[in-house]
Chain A
Amino acid sequence: KNSKRNKDEL
């Protein structure tokens, strides 16, 4: 799971 996508929300 790409970590960037993991925390792409505010």
Chain B
Amino acid sequence: MNIFRLAGDMSHLFSILLLLLKIHTIKSCAGVSLKTQELYALVFATRYLDIFTGYISLYNTLMKMFFLWSSFTIVWYMRYHNVVRRSYDKDQDTFRHYFLILPCFILALLVHEKFTFLEVLWTFSLYLEAVAILPQLVLLQRTRNVDNLTGHYVFFLGAYRSFYILNWIYRYFTEQNYYKWITWISGLVQTALYADFFYYYVKSWRNSERLQLPA
């Protein structure tokens, strides 16, 4: 564990806590894409299966259980909780996220480290996580005034993988033959997708104006 990875995990944790706070306290999911939440639930379900087969550390197990629990809880709130679901703008959240799942799965069948069930699912989860934010970014462009909590949620979600990139650089230089091309490339693509969001987020923060993404 290094400070970059810890910062990444804490940023990821914080982003989810922000979203849970928004949904649980003000019972609203306005501006939040259900499709991105469903993709993330699938990412965690396919990546964290190893909590049943192995043990790495208490931290690792607890974080995985929290990510699994929170992602499915958020999807449940947005689909079935009769107050929260009313604030879900489903006619704006129209990104065809199913079109992301199949290509990622096919790519995982073609490009992976080992051709085993767990490894292919793990690789699939990496590819899917790289593109999972797309429905949310599209929805932000359509939502005229993005509320602060949603903006902060997306920012810390994007920041987590950026910290992971620093972690991979750090580990590459401090550990012998440490390289994970698939993880690194997926992480770079994922972070690149946030580039323009980061730009507008910092700009709105600097000018202390509301966050607005150009349509």
- Contacts from A to B (Cβ < 8 Å): 1, 4, 7-10
Contacts and interface: CB of A to CB of B under 8 A. Distances in A.
Which 4 residue pairs of A and B lie closest in terms of their CB atoms, listed nearest first? A8-B56, A10-B63, A10-B9, A4-B56
A4 B9 contact: no
B85 interface: no
Interface residues of B, number: 16
B12 A10 contact: yes
A9 B170 CA distance: 14
20 contacts: A1-B177, A4-B54, A4-B56, A7-B50, A7-B54, A7-B56, A7-B122, A8-B56, A8-B57, A8-B60, A9-B5, A9-B164, A9-B167, A9-B183, A10-B9, A10-B12, A10-B60, A10-B63, A10-B64, A10-B67
Interface in B2-18: 5, 9, 12
A7 B47 CA distance: 10
A6 to B, nearest CB: 8
A3 B157 CA distance: 27
A10 B67 CA distance: 10
A1 B164 CA distance: 21
Contacts of A9: 5, 164, 167, 183
A7 to B, nearest CB: 6
Contacts of A8: 56-57, 60
